[in-house]
Chains A and B, each alone.
Chain A
Amino acid sequence: MPGTSAANIENRLQRVLPKILFLPFALAFLLLLLTGNALAEEEALIYKNARDRMVRTQIKSRGISDPATLRAMESVPRHLFVPETSVPDAYDDRPLPIGYGQTISQPYIVAYMTEIVQPKPQQRILEIGTGSGYQAAILAETGVSVYTVEIIPELAKNASERLSRLGYGGIQVKSGDGYFGWEKYAPYDAIVVTAAAEYIPPPLLAQLKDGGRMVIPVGSPFFVQTLMLVEKHGKETVTHSLMPVRFVPFRRAE
């Protein structure tokens, strides 16, 4: 009967139509998933290449040779530690602003500071000035236990969340005054001060192990002039003013 036939067709359509409609959506979703994965993989590869290039051209070429430091610099995704607007410049040879008057240091300076404190697995290192958390992540990659203190609460919170998200949950982040260091985990094998002050807080020196090293960059946010290495030998403390880039002498070349 024509009526029955029409009803059948309608019934069939009602059953089939959702499947027909679903199919392209499913395909699109699958495609998106595959493309998304492919894109993510491609993106990861692009950043990996950028990192490798950064290590080759900015770090190894300037004399950094400590294998642990180089491995760390090759593996930590720096682009995930900078503000969104700075992602394209993340692997450039320069510091980048991260807000609150702070910067993420030039990759070479991060590498230099890491190498200079000679991190070894199982050591404890205190960082003063967490900033974006990049330096802490690099130190953690070398196998040391990292304790980091940030005075600006917003930066401390963001860095803590970022480090956890990126798998650096082992890094202890504290929001507080770096002047007092972090007594609870003292003494430290090394202290990295990323945000320098015009004085070296006596509590930090006290929390440094005998024979320990403290490194402090000296300069403006966009131009690190020197790095100061402080070595504690019993009651005597010796400082070394180091130049991250060998640009002496200043006499004109001609």
Chain B
Amino acid sequence: MNQTSAAALNRLHLSVALLSIAIIAFQLVLMQVLSITQWHYFAYMVISVALLGFGAAGTLIALARGWFLERSSFLLPLLMFGSAAAMATVVGITQAVFGGFDSLLLFVDPSQVWRLLLANLLFSTPFFLGALAIGLIFVQHVDRIGTFYFANLLGSGLGGIVAIIILGLLSPQQLPAVTAVFSLAAGFLILPKRRLRWLIAAAFLACALTAFNIVRPVSLSISEYKDLQRTLNLPDAGIVAQRNSPYGLVQVVSAPVLRHAPGISLAYAGEIPVREAVFSNGNWFGAISEWSAANTEHLLDYTTGALPYAMATPNDVLVLRAGTGMEVSHALTRGAKRIVAVEPHSTVLDLLDEQYSQTMGGLFRHPAVTLVPLEPRTYLATDSSHYDLIVLPMVGAFGGTAGLFALQEQNTFTREALSEMWRHLAPDGLLCASAWLDYPVRSPLRLAATMVETLAEAGIDNPAAHIAAVRSWGTITFCVKRSPLTPIEIRNVREFCRQMLFDPVFLPDLKPGEREHYNLLEDRSIFTYLDQILSPARQELYETYDFRLQPATDNRPFFSQFLRWQSLPHLIRLFGERAVPFIEMGYLIVVITFLQMAAAALVLIILPLFRLGWRGGNRVWTLMYFSGLGVGYMLVEIVLIHCFVLYLGHPVYAAAAVICAMLIFSGTGSYASSRLPVHDATPYGAAGLVALMLLLYTFLLPPILQYTITFSMCWKIIFTMMILALPSFVMGFPFPLGLQFLARRSEADVPWAWGINGCLSVLSTALATIIAVEAGFTAVFLLAAAAYVTAALAKFWT
């Protein structure tokens, strides 16, 4: 490669960067498209499996290295055009061929499994072809791996930014083809002089497919079980407003029969009004309520959520995750003087403000209302006010969520979050949360447990004196009060129940039989469990119940994740194997994904050994070193995203900032590594240094973030960059150094090492989720450090 001119090398670097932009942007865009058509957990599974294309590319190069290297000048642009064509068309093809696929039917209809496998195969094509090109360049230019890896990481980082930009500008169905443009550009940059005719033909075809799919993209076929599609099935329903955003596709649906009155009392005899509703990525977000300052009654007066207003007349109200503002208008109608509405989905807020302000009676512009477009926890950390009432968003959904959102990080419902809210309560303030009653009962029990433990942490010896709860036919609302409940408040709760046909669940002087006057339960065990939660014996319930009930924590913020593996056989016996997946589908899918990927990764890692040979000085070394790096890097990325979502208060931008900063700083590190005088100890030293830094970060990062979270956003961004820069920079060293080290000993092993790194990186995304659920994010961070230690220890297997 010494003959390669400087200009050609520069073009090749640029080409790698462009292709990397295309691949990462395509990955993020595909995630969005699949989240819209199916669910987030399905998108996660498909993309994880598709990313194994990276591992497969490494395996293929390892098996036929000579063949690829001989034809590289012709193959590289061809692969890039192929990847572009695949990016542009794969969504359309899967829609056309597998339009009938529905991930919700996976456990119901066996034929869906084959469709899923074929879809996985198709989605992996652009990644495989793109990775083949990058891998080939790495192998061909292993002597310059530092700079090429820099181009790769820099491009990947920029790909994240590109995705964020285009997600906000274009409709989701156009986006895959738009990302293909970068791959096309990468191919054009390195067109050789020989066999140009064939390449021009391929380029023309790829360009035509890309252009066609940008101009006339296929319409997305959405699962018929998604909230949006079910609503669109209503007569004369239609989408009346739409907005693209990195948060998700926001759509407003209007239908003459669309009504929203969650869990309304049977005492309500009025008409439930028709409303327009907002959906984000096809999931229900909220109804647009007509409101007027002249209203004296509110629909929510007839729900258990009105409990705090039955107990008191709060002046200062904080509504967390205010959504479309129903709780805000309720507080105003009930006479609140100051309302802070916190809602991070700024796209919805903009849409409501611009198009529905009149319908909503200027709710969000009301002088008493302050709108805060931040994550609730971030707002709480920066706010020093005290409130008479803090209202949490409702937990769960009518009829349950089938566990589709089990792996959603819910930072608003952790023990730390509720303690923070408790500190924001005025002396007689109320903290209020409602949940849909599910069966088997989980959400209400965990909510009660979180509230009771918050009281215990605040030093309340007798929690029963501070808590009121009422239950309707479908919902339960808990209110904890900073001071003990007064006899008047208790009387008001009883009167509220009588009027609304609700039953009290918790009251300091609750009488036997009072809990089931209007709403009878065949299974009364919920009361036993709730009483046990209120008693010091709650730990025993946590240990013996079939589902996890311990409060979620910042370290394990998965409020809706209840499944315990050891209970699975029992649940299958009780419900039958077909029903159990619908209790907690999200987590099951991740574990299934992990197992699928582990099996595939094993095959992809072992396969090249049939050609390279099983024995040899570098086998164990290569496996340990590159597995360690693959696992370690990805785990660190996932934990840091989790930390910075709370810190920056904006999940999408936090994820983008972490991914981009890490990749770009690591790229810089990789570039710097190419200037280092390399000797044998350097790779291990770099891996060891990363491990040490990660160990330090495990203990230092939380207090640093906690201390600086109250700073202005500008400072927080500067801190974010400073915090990420150092470890990311060092993390850019071990991979190129390791490849160079390997190349000096056995160049043929380089693609195998690259494949191992790819396979393990992908595998570790699912692994991170499983560990975070089972042991918490701290454990994930420690595992990342352990992975780098493993890489460093590979020294002894040289």
Give the interface of A toward B (CB within 8 A): 93-94, 96-97, 99-101, 151-153, 177, 179, 196-202, 205-206, 218-223, 225-226, 228, 230, 236-243, 245, 247-253
The reply to whether A100 and B104 contact each other, CB–CB distance below 8 Å, is no
The reply to whether B439 and A225 contact each other, CB–CB distance below 8 Å, is yes
> Which 4 pairs between the two chains have the least Cβ-Cβ distance?
A198-B398, A223-B582, A225-B439, A247-B574
The reply to whether A252 and B522 contact each other, CB–CB distance below 8 Å, is no
0/1 interface trace, chain B 563-585, chain A, CB 8 Å (1 if under): 00011001001111011001100
Question: Which residues of chain A come closer than 8 Å to B104, judged between CB atoms?
Answer: 221-222
Q: A202-B271, A219-B439, A237-B501 are in contact. List 19 more A-B contacts (CB 8 A).
A: A97-B105, A97-B224, A101-B225, A179-B272, A198-B260, A198-B263, A200-B473, A202-B269, A202-B272, A219-B400, A220-B582, A222-B104, A222-B579, A223-B400, A225-B439, A228-B473, A241-B473, A245-B574, A250-B574
Which segment, of B16-24, B238-246, B365-373, B513-521, faces chain A? B513-521
Asked whether any CB of chain A lies closer than 8 Å to the CB of B613, the reply is no
Q: Which of B398, B473, B570, B576 contacts A93 (CB 8 A)?
A: B576
In the complex, A245→B578 CA distance in Å?
14
The reply to whether B519 and A241 contact each other, CB–CB distance below 8 Å, is yes
Question: Which residues of chain A come closer than 8 Å to B401, judged between CB atoms?
Answer: 220
Interface residues on B, range: 35 or more
The reply to whether B234 and A151 contact each other, CB–CB distance below 8 Å, is yes
In the complex, A182→B19 CA distance in Å?
61
Do A179 and B259 form a contact, CB below 8 Å, given A99-B224, A222-B582?
Answer: yes
Do A196 and B574 form a contact, CB below 8 Å, given A151-B257, A205-B266?
Answer: no
Question: Which residues of chain A come closer than 8 Å to B267, judged between CB atoms?
Answer: 237
Closest CB in chain A relative to B442 CB, distance in Å = 9
The reply to whether A251 and B546 contact each other, CB–CB distance below 8 Å, is yes
Count A-B contacts at CB 8 Å: 150
Instruction: Closest B residue to A221 by CB, please name it.
Output: B225
Asked whether any CB of chain A lies closer than 8 Å to the CB of B677, the reply is no
The reply to whether B570 and A253 contact each other, CB–CB distance below 8 Å, is yes
The reply to whether B546 and A252 contact each other, CB–CB distance below 8 Å, is yes
Give the interface of B toward A (CB within 8 A): 104-105, 107-109, 224-226, 229-230, 233-235, 256-257, 259-264, 266-272, 397-402, 437-441, 473-474, 501, 518-523, 525, 544-547, 566-567, 570, 573-576, 578-579, 582-583
Question: Which residues of chain B come closer than 8 Å to A225, judged between CB atoms?
Answer: 399-400, 438-440
Most buried by B among A97, A201, A220, A253: A220
Q: Which of B107, B438, B520 contacts A240 (CB 8 A)?
A: B520
The reply to whether B263 and A199 contact each other, CB–CB distance below 8 Å, is yes
Question: Which residues of chain A come closer than 8 Å to B226, judged between CB atoms?
Answer: 101
The reply to whether A94 and B230 contact each other, CB–CB distance below 8 Å, is no
Question: Which residues of chain B come closer than 8 Å to A97, judged between CB atoms?
Answer: 105, 108-109, 224
The reply to whether B105 and A223 contact each other, CB–CB distance below 8 Å, is no
The reply to whether B230 and A241 contact each other, CB–CB distance below 8 Å, is no
In the complex, A252→B523 CA distance in Å?
16
10 CB contacts below 8 A, A to B, read A97-B105, A99-B224, A151-B234, A201-B272, A218-B399, A222-B579, A225-B399, A241-B520, A243-B523, A251-B544
Do A101 and B229 form a contact, CB below 8 Å, given A199-B272, A241-B473?
Answer: yes
Question: Which residues of chain B come closer than 8 Å to A206, judged between CB atoms?
Answer: 269
Question: Which residues of chain B come closer than 8 Å to A197, judged between CB atoms?
Answer: 259, 398
Closest CB in chain A relative to B726 CB, distance in Å = 47
The reply to whether A250 and B547 contact each other, CB–CB distance below 8 Å, is yes
Question: Which residues of chain A come closer than 8 Å to B257, judged between CB atoms?
Answer: 151, 177, 179
In the complex, A201→B270 CA distance in Å?
9
Closest CB in chain B relative to A131 CB, distance in Å = 12
Question: Which residues of chain A come closer than 8 Å to B544, judged between CB atoms?
Answer: 251-252
The reply to whether B522 and A223 contact each other, CB–CB distance below 8 Å, is no
The reply to whether A238 and B399 contact each other, CB–CB distance below 8 Å, is no
Question: Which residues of chain B come closer than 8 Å to A220, judged between CB atoms?
Answer: 399-402, 582
The reply to whether B578 and A94 contact each other, CB–CB distance below 8 Å, is yes
Closest CB in chain A relative to B472 CB, distance in Å = 8
In the complex, A179→B270 CA distance in Å?
12
In the complex, A101→B234 CA distance in Å?
11
Do A199 and B545 form a contact, CB below 8 Å, given A219-B400, A241-B522?
Answer: no
Question: Which residues of chain B come closer than 8 Å to A153, judged between CB atoms?
Answer: 235
Question: Which residues of chain A come closer than 8 Å to B520, judged between CB atoms?
Answer: 238-241
Question: Which residues of chain A come closer than 8 Å to B109, judged between CB atoms?
Answer: 97
Closest CB in chain A relative to B450 CB, distance in Å = 19
Question: Which residues of chain B come closer than 8 Å to A202, judged between CB atoms?
Answer: 268-272
The reply to whether B578 and A241 contact each other, CB–CB distance below 8 Å, is no
The reply to whether A223 and B579 contact each other, CB–CB distance below 8 Å, is yes
Do A101 and B270 form a contact, CB below 8 Å, given A198-B474, A252-B544?
Answer: no
In the complex, A153→B234 CA distance in Å?
9
Question: Which residues of chain B come closer than 8 Å to A221, judged between CB atoms?
Answer: 104, 225
Instruction: Closest B residue to A155 by CB, please name it.
Output: B233
Question: Which residues of chain A come closer than 8 Å to B566, judged between CB atoms?
Answer: 252
Instruction: Closest A residue to B269 by CB, please name it.
Output: A202
The reply to whether A218 and B266 contact each other, CB–CB distance below 8 Å, is no
In the complex, A241→B578 CA distance in Å?
23
In the complex, A153→B437 CA distance in Å?
32
Question: Which residues of chain A come closer than 8 Å to B441, judged between CB atoms?
Answer: 250
The reply to whether B439 and A199 contact each other, CB–CB distance below 8 Å, is no
Question: Which residues of chain A come closer than 8 Å to B518, judged between CB atoms?
Answer: 236-239
Question: Which residues of chain A come closer than 8 Å to B402, judged between CB atoms?
Answer: 220, 222-223
Do A247 and B575 form a contact, CB below 8 Å, given A97-B105, A222-B104?
Answer: yes
The reply to whether A252 and B567 contact each other, CB–CB distance below 8 Å, is yes
Closest CB in chain B relative to A92 CB, distance in Å = 9
Question: Which residues of chain A come closer than 8 Å to B271, judged between CB atoms?
Answer: 202
Question: Which residues of chain B come closer than 8 Å to A179, judged between CB atoms?
Answer: 257, 259, 272
Closest CB in chain B relative to A69 CB, distance in Å = 19
The reply to whether B570 and A252 contact each other, CB–CB distance below 8 Å, is yes
The reply to whether A219 and B545 contact each other, CB–CB distance below 8 Å, is no
Do A199 and B259 form a contact, CB below 8 Å, given A94-B108, A222-B108?
Answer: yes
The reply to whether B525 and A238 contact each other, CB–CB distance below 8 Å, is no
Instruction: Closest A residue to B566 by CB, please name it.
Output: A252
Question: Which residues of chain A come closer than 8 Å to B262, judged between CB atoms?
Answer: 198-199
In the complex, A205→B272 CA distance in Å?
13
Do A240 and B575 form a contact, CB below 8 Å, given A199-B263, A225-B399?
Answer: no
Question: Which residues of chain B come closer than 8 Å to A223, judged between CB atoms?
Answer: 400, 402, 575, 579, 582-583
Closest CB in chain B relative to A183 CB, distance in Å = 14
Question: Which residues of chain B come closer than 8 Å to A218, judged between CB atoms?
Answer: 398-399, 439, 474
The reply to whether B522 and A240 contact each other, CB–CB distance below 8 Å, is yes
Question: Which residues of chain A come closer than 8 Å to B473, judged between CB atoms?
Answer: 200, 228, 230, 239, 241
The reply to whether A248 and B525 contact each other, CB–CB distance below 8 Å, is yes
In the complex, A100→B105 CA distance in Å?
14
Instruction: Closest B residue to A195 by CB, please name it.
Output: B230
Instruction: Closest B residue to A206 by CB, please name it.
Output: B269
The reply to whether B261 and A199 contact each other, CB–CB distance below 8 Å, is yes
Closest CB in chain A relative to B439 CB, distance in Å = 4
Instruction: Closest A residue to B473 by CB, please name it.
Output: A239
Instruction: Closest B residue to A177 by CB, please name it.
Output: B257
The reply to whether A238 and B519 contact each other, CB–CB distance below 8 Å, is yes
The reply to whether A230 and B266 contact each other, CB–CB distance below 8 Å, is yes
The reply to whether B105 and A241 contact each other, CB–CB distance below 8 Å, is no
Question: Which residues of chain B come closer than 8 Å to A240, judged between CB atoms?
Answer: 520-522
Q: Which of B235, B399, B519 contacts A151 (CB 8 A)?
A: B235
Instruction: Closest A residue to B397 by CB, please name it.
Output: A198
Closest CB in chain B relative to A163 CB, distance in Å = 21
Question: Which residues of chain B come closer than 8 Å to A201, judged between CB atoms?
Answer: 272
In the complex, A177→B233 CA distance in Å?
12
Closest CB in chain A relative to B121 CB, distance in Å = 24
